[in-house]
Structure 1
């Protein structure tokens, strides 16, 4: 018999649609059994080489390794992302990847948040895990939908961006310049303040990328090179440094130590990146164009650059004159003056 019910209530399919090709499968319902039988007979008629694809029983950790092998290794921080994903798989008890549910993931996310994991970190992990399923499906390595498709990232409270005032910039540069053991650390900071570069981009400059009154940043986060004009004095200082000391050394830790000796207090997680925020903030405060700023910073999306828009001198100034508490009697417009009759 092609289909029969087993004592435990399940249904067993045992068919041989083509001589020498026999297919067996155990399913939960009779409907599934009938569909499997019909599929096998139809496919074997269309192609004698067809055979049903076995169910994907790979664990989540195996899928993560497969993702890293096919795609993850091409990412700038691919090795770090793989370790984060494997740790997340262990927290999820490493289920069969196809059986992972949004409910299970959210339970583990709740535990992470209760343990003090930052919401931004949790959102990053969700994005990494979604990328595993999405990328493998695009590559044809899995044939099922992403089980986390409908899990939304947490809505984060936006924090005001911190940037340095002119006095704080002078104080910081003075603290960096006295660090004689690390030549050029103050120069790297000046490059960041003059171009909005990330610390790693400025620290990675080479003599051939400083020419014609500009600096060119390579190996950037967006994978694109950027060329930004700089003052002649900064260009001269950079070339003199390369001639006397060679390339910049890794001095990010020294920067943090120098920063700690100043009166400057920054939010947790900010150190060298405050220089990039400072450039962008002063650029907008001084009337710079937001689209030009996007190109200078190398943002792929204007939404990232718009974080600085509120610093523009005319940003939402209508709120000052159009609010219900504004005293209109204290303001006399030019047209009102013209309508006022002259007295003898």
Structure 2
């Protein structure tokens, strides 16, 4: 009796760019930032020369990363590129679209120095609000800035507010980064101003560029790449400096992990205060 001949599976000759399109159709479209990720992957793919996806070697990627580093690309951006490629390969393997394992699985992320978060002082807040009020032609920037300062909302979260989301002096944020709904109380004054604005305009338009122009006009200096997100950092920093609870701050900001919120813990008035009373110099000689 003749035995059935074993057939080896055909080699997968598809280029990386083709898999990026497939990844988006199968998985990427479900992500909030799926289209942005796809565009980032296409950019990375071009830098790598659009290799055959199963033949992309760790050495090839490391050489690409070195060149990008030499050209001034930030470590965070390079880590994001590796993360997106890992997600693509792992996702396509899990879905059965590819049969081989992630060729970049053993590459480590770059170690990055922890950046100190920038936040605005009280005087800078006043300067910024005055600058917006005097010089910005965009009708939404001032109230959006106030909302972010008062609630710690991301700029795009604030822009998604409608009048139906402002109830009983609380703003409900539903279009959030992690998809979780949260409600944050606001003062009577801000509630009245916000509701009035929304009733007049119906909602907000994209105003981030107008905010950046106002920030430049205010002459407030921030680290490169920071703009409206400084308002979220400012809320969190002042919340902790004024004696706020770190767990409450986590709920307000909507962080899934307390580790994210702990970045602000050092600003608490009593942060590590026990180091004064419990250090050996104090306990030994009362110094």
Give 1:265's aligned residue. Answer: 221
Q: Contact 2:136/2:210 (CA < 8 Å) preserved in 1? A: no
State yes or no: 1:195 paired with 2:151.
yes
In structure 1, what is the Cα distance between the partners aligned to 2:274 and 2:181?
A: 39
> Hey, what's the Cα distance between the residues in 1 that align with 2:8 and 2:189?
71
Match of 1:158 in 2: 114
Alignment partners' CA distance in 2, 1:325 and 1:159: 31
- Residue 276 of structure 1 aligns to a residue whose secondary structure is helix
Q: Any unmatched runs of 5+ in structure 1?
A: 1-15, 24-39, 41-50, 332-344
Number of residue-to-residue matches in the alignment: 286
Q: Distance in 2 between matches of 1:302 and 1:330?
A: 36
Alpha-carbon displacement from aligned partner over 1:26-77 (angstroms, at most 9, x marks no partner): xxxxxxxxxxxxxx2xxxxxxxxxx542222222222211111111122222
CA distance in 1, matches of 2:49, 2:214: 44
The answer to which structure has the higher helix fraction is: 2
Which protein has the larger Cα radius of gyration, Structure 1 or Structure 2?
1
Which structure 2 residue ranges, 5 or more long, are not aligned?
A: none
TM-score, normalisation: structure 2: 0.93
| Matching of residue 206 in structure 1 with residue 162 in structure 2 | yes
**1:67-99 deviations in Å (ceiling 9; x for gaps):** 111111222222222222122222222222122
Shift of 1:122: 0.6
Structure 2 residue 155 is the aligned partner of structure 1 residue 169: no
Correspondence list, 1:279-290, <5 A:
279-290=235-246
1:255 aligns with 2:241: no
Task: Note the alpha carbon deviations across 1:145-200, whole angstroms, 9 max, x for none.
Answer: 21111111101111111111111111111111224622232111111011100111
Partner of 2:177: 221
User: Quick one: distance in 2 between partners of 1:149 and 1:228?
Assistant: 40
Q: In the alignment, is the contact (CA less than 8 A) between 1:183 and 1:245 conserved in 2?
A: no
| Distance (Å, rounded) in 1 between the aligned partners of 2:219 and 2:56 | 50
> Counterpart of 1:294?
250
Give the structure with the higher percent strand: 1
Q: Comparing both chains, which one has the higher relative contact order based on Cα–Cα distances under 8 Å and sequence gaps of 6 or more?
A: 2
RMSD: 1.9
